Amino acid sequence: MESPDLNSLKLAFQNALQRWIATIQKWQELLASTSHSARAEDVWKQADFEQEDARKAVQDAKDAYEDAVRKANFGF
């Protein structure tokens, strides 16, 4: 695999990681300022879903990058 392909996969991984971090920060700040209402529970659930989606995107990008590096370095 050519270096530009690896660079692209690495950049996708880095971008996904930054989105995940931003998602965590956004939701943690919101959760810290949410009242003790029933609506707060809905906010917590939404935060869990969005953070899990972002985490999965990071894992997928990381797996793709690792697979490409392994193939480039070891041929499998």
Q: Quickly list DSSP for the chain.
A: --HHHHHHHHHHHHHHHHHHHHHHHHHHHHHHH--SSHHHHHHHHHHHHHHHHHHHHHHHHHHHHHHHHHHHHH--
> pTM for the full model?
0.83
Q: How far apart are CA 50 and CA 71, in angstroms?
A: 32
Q: What is the pLDDT of residue 2?
A: 63
Q: What is the pLDDT of residue 31?
A: 84
Cβ atoms within 10 Å of 6's Cβ, excluding its own: 16
Tell me the pLDDT tens digit for each residue of 7-65.
999 999 999 999 999 999 999 888 888 777 777 788 888 999 999 999 999 999 999 99
Q: How far apart are CA 64 and CA 40, in angstroms?
A: 36
